[in-house]
A and B are shown apart, each in its own frame.
Chain A
Amino acid sequence: MEILDERIGDTCVITAKGRLDGGASTAFAEKVGALITNESPKLLVDFAGVDFVSSAGLRAVLVLFKKVKAAGGSFALCAVQEQVREVLDITGFTGMLSIHAARTEAIAAMRG
């Protein structure tokens, strides 16, 4: 999995590409987790390029979500592909996370 990070305003935007499976999820959680250093961090993960998510990937997302929330921050996903969205719906993640249709909309929402 390819992971790029950039800062747009006060939001850390992660662009992930590839499969978030057992092999990639640990590195994903570690790399993105290392970027959560501020108080009240804002973290957006762009899922447009993520075409596969397994339960290991969901674990990684949940770990990051909990870390951001514990620091008093906000966490969102955007541009989730339809088959991945179904997995998030079934496992109740949709109810816990902010999920935006598009990156620009997500960044605007996180600026508050």
Chain B
Amino acid sequence: MTRFQASTLPNADGIAALTDQVIEFLEQHAVDARAVHHTGLVLSEVLTNLATHGGCSDRAAKIAVTIGPDRVTGEIVDSGPPFDPRLAPEPSLDVSLDERPIGGLGLFLVRKLTCTLEYARRNDENCMIFAIRREGNREDNKGH
């Protein structure tokens, strides 16, 4: 297995730079475009949520990405207030254009694009682990 590790402040520049690094790492190891995109997206969404709603834009989060034979696994550890991304409310998708809210899709995408999503609170830290199936190893959108 091949592993990438980094830490970043969850501000716009930090998230963009980290996403760049993760995408480059995955592409260098011939991961398919879908898994590359969705891994970058999940990391970006979780870190953005951490800064926007967790009030943690000044505290670094630790990230690790591991390439396995059939999946990419990501881990995010942050010292923000307790937050389980699996419990965020579902957005309203079955409404007319006029009623469609502008936001609320980030964590929904995290739940829908990952084939596994785990969370634990340990040592005053949020620990989230997710996996994205690699091409040739995925079922139809599994979601949670």
Contact = CB atoms under 8 A, between A and B. Distances in A.
Interface stretch (A3-11, A31-39, A83-91, A98-106): A83-91
A86 B93 contact: no
Query: For chain A, what secondary structure do more than half of its interface residues adopt (helix, strand, loop), or is it mixed?
Result: helix
Interface residues of B, number: 30
B48 A22 contact: yes
Contact residues on A (Cβ < 8 Å of other chain), bracket? 20 to 34
B37 A54 contact: no
22 contacts: A22-B44, A22-B48, A23-B13, A51-B33, A51-B37, A52-B19, A53-B41, A54-B106, A55-B48, A55-B105, A56-B48, A62-B102, A65-B97, A66-B97, A66-B98, A83-B38, A84-B37, A86-B38, A86-B113, A90-B109, A91-B105, A91-B108
Interface of A: 19, 21-23, 51-56, 58-59, 62-63, 65-66, 69, 81-84, 86-87, 90-92, 96
